Amino acid sequence: MNRKAVVIGSGVAGMASAIRLRMHGFEVHVVEANAYPGGKLSEFTVDGFRFDAGPSLFTLPELVNELFTLAGKDPRHYFNYKRLDVTCHYFFEDGTQLIAYADPKKLTEEIETKTGVPAQRIMDYLRQSAEIYSSASEIFLENSLHRWKTWLNLRIVKALSKLHRLGIFQTMHQRNVAWLQHEKLVQLFDRYATYNGSNPFRAPGILTSIPHLEFNKGAYLPDGGMYSITKALHQLAVDLGVHFSFNKIVTEIKVENGRATGVMIGSVPMATDIVICNMDVYYAFRKLMPAQRAPERTLKQERSSSALIFYWGIRNSFPQLDLHNIFFSSNYEREFRAIFQERTIDDDPTVYINITSKYESGDAPTGCENWFVMINVPANTGQDWSRLISIARTDILKKLNRHLSVDLEKMIVTETVLDPLSIDSKTHSYQGSLYGTSSNSKFSAFLRHPNFSQHVKDLYFCGGSVHPGGGIPLALFSAKIVSSLVAEQNPGLTV
């Protein structure tokens, strides 16, 4: 008889874990509280405008392709994507505009023309970003940090020999200042700390590896938008025989004699051989296992930033904008101080706009655009969000009107808002933090919760709140680590 696995939550990591466990020969049942799969990677349509509700940047598509190849399927039969020729349009307060071309020659020429920074300096920066990623991924992304076996691996030992070059002992901002020597470029590359909800003025310099994914490896857009990733993974899982239960809430992880034996779905028990939890680890312990020993030090860590998102249907088109657009604040350090120390929103926030209708004409009515307008905000600790949202909306409109020379308010025909409170309630992300805990410490990678329980056998964790972190690529890495751990503990599995 096949062994059984229950996966709590159908986020990207949950579905990837289900696929991998199915290929190991498990009977897999995914239990999802929402009516749809994907977790944060969801979508909605209103008044003819389609919006990707969550992640908007697609990098490392090979991590998705790998799941189809593992299952013996052609990924192109499930979903396709295009590599972007332009990764982002950047707008600075003094009127400077930079287009981040995917082509390295065009990119460096653009930066040299607009800032005077030699092209070679940018090439050197991106080269060292690639080198850091190569070493860091070996240590921090592809393996569990919480087992001695990892540290005895010869490849890991070799990677560790380069640790002094990874920027562990500098902040991201300090490293960018040293390398780039230009205020605008420092701000541009500091922003990559937000990719895991952190503060570049405190986060370790190893995060300068993140630009490598976008500038060297490439940024992509799936046909049909980001939610196509969710639909493809869900369909693959179903085709492999994974069972999904939607609108079902797991109320307890059953633990008997030190091992996970099943879950309670409402008041109905479901027995299983292993449990994989894709739920925020904070809620997993507080709500599903309140009687079990909790990793208090981990659960009390500083949370990552959250987001305030306005989904605007715009009755106009803007040729100066592309898929990804950033309007920088005039004082980045002040903005991050407001988020992480003052727990509020600066009156001049950096604004990100994602417009998929630039590439997917069906995402907005003719002559219109679907704007996903986001700013970074603190996790919810009891702020007056109604007041903060109202003020932030006014500040965002002022900023965009100034840059684009328009009265944007008159062009908004539909509006939906997502804030830390609704992020928490819709995705069970504690305090609405997007990435679990922040990376504002050189030890943060080691303080994330491991992908396995240290006290309960046959209980595993995946997703953005545990190792190695948040975002689609890291969520997929977490599923891969879980799969390896399960295989190691269960000799003789199918794969």
- Identify the pLDDT of residue 407: 97
Predicted pLDDT at 161: 60
Other beta carbons less than 10 A from residue 410's beta carbon: 9
- Write out pLDDT tens, residues 242-293: 999 999 999 999 999 999 999 999 999 999 999 999 999 999 999 999 999 9
Say what the pLDDT of residue 490 is.
81
- Order of strands across the sheet that contains 351-354: 97-101, 86-91, 324-327, 351-354, 369-377, 306-314, 412-418
Nearest Cα to 429, choosing from 28, 41, 7?
41
> Contact at 8 Å (CB) between 373 and 303?
no
Provide the whole-model pTM. Answer: 0.94
**42-91 pLDDT per residue, tens:** 999 999 999 999 999 999 999 999 999 999 999 999 999 999 999 999 99
Give the other-Cβ count within 10 Å of 427's Cβ: 24
Six-digit token string for 3: 């062994």
Q: Residue 220's pLDDT is what?
A: 97
b/e burial code for range 129-153 (CB count within 10 A of at least 16 → b) = bbebbebbbbbbbbbbbeeeeeeee
Question: In the prediction, which pLDDT does 168 show?
Answer: 72
Q: Which two tokens stand for residue 62?
A: 């090979």
Q: In 3-state terms, what secondary structure has residue 201?
A: coil
State the Cα–Cα distance between residues 395 and 353, nearest whole angstrom: 15
Find the largest Cα–Cα distance for the chain.
67
Pairing relationship of beta strands 369-377 and 306-314 according to DSSP bridges: antiparallel
* Res 135: pLDDT: 80
Q: What is the per-residue pLDDT for 372?
A: 98
Rounded Cα distance, 449 and 437, in Å: 10
Question: Tokens standing for 23?
Answer: 């290929």
Per domain, the residue ranges of the chain are 4-38+226-300+440-489, 109-215
Helices 183-190 + 172-180 axis angle, to 10: 140
pLDDT < 70 positions in the chain: 1, 139, 144-167, 442-446, 492-495
Are the C-beta atoms of 165 and 136 separated by less than 8 Å? no
Degrees (nearest 5) of the Cα angle 52, 33, 424?
A: 60
Structurally, at CATH architecture level, domain 4-38+226-300+440-489 sits in 3-Layer(bba) Sandwich (3.50)
